[in-house]
């Protein structure tokens, strides 16, 4: 269960105790916005995102790194830049199918935006950078 009030309290305490981080709290602001969106408080979510936009602040794209045979590989969400992307996505889908066979169910409440026409809950949640890095490790 997500508690937007607790999340807001924690965020406000961070802002109060670390004012020098004001411009570096973008990721935390996005997280709080997503908590609000996932609990149905779209107005608060939009207010946070509008405030960031007006301040000219953008979220930092999250990256996942993995090392294979001494080489570092980095991935971002829904990354298609790797020369073997099709192999990586096939492996990620294989892992996803195995999880589903064993009873896993994807929770759409973690998606805080409307799905695009060509998206599914699984495709959005399985395209995260850490999942791609894990799939790449299984490919090797």
Residue 65 CA to residue 35 CA, distance in Å, equals 26
For residue range 3-20, list pLDDT tens digits in order.
Answer: 778 888 888 888 888 877
Domain boundaries, the chain: 4-55, 63-139
Q: 22 pLDDT exceeds 70?
A: no
User: Sorting pLDDT into bands at 50, 70 and 90, what band is 41?
Assistant: confident
User: pLDDT tens digit string along 72-106?
Assistant: 999 999 999 999 999 999 999 999 999 999 999 99
Q: Give me the DSSP letters along the chain.
A: ---HHHHHHHHHHHHHH-GGGGGG-HHHHHHHHHHHHHTT-HHHHHHHHHHHHHHT--PPPPEEEEEETTEEEEEETT---STTHHHHHHHHHHHHHHHHHTT----GGG--SPPPTT--HHHHHTTSHHHHHHHHHHH-
Q: What is the pLDDT of residue 140?
A: 85
């Amino acid at each position: 269960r997500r508690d937007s009030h607790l999340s807001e309290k924690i965020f406000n305490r961070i802002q109060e105790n670390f004012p020098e981080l004001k411009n570096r709290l973008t990721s935390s602001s996005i997280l709080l916005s997503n908590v609000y969106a996932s609990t149905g408080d779209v107005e608060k979510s939009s207010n946070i995102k509008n405030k960031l936009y007006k301040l000219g602040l953008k979220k930092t794209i999250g990256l996942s790194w993995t090392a294979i045979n001494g080489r570092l590989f980095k991935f971002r969400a829904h990354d298609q830049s790797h020369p073997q992307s099709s192999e990586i996505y096939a492996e990620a889908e294989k892992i996803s199918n195995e999880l589903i066979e064993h009873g896993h169910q994807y929770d759409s409440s973690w998606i805080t935006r409307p799905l695009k026409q060509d998206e599914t809950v699984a495709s959005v949640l399985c395209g995260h950078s850490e999942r791609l890095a894990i799939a790449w490790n299984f490919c090797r």
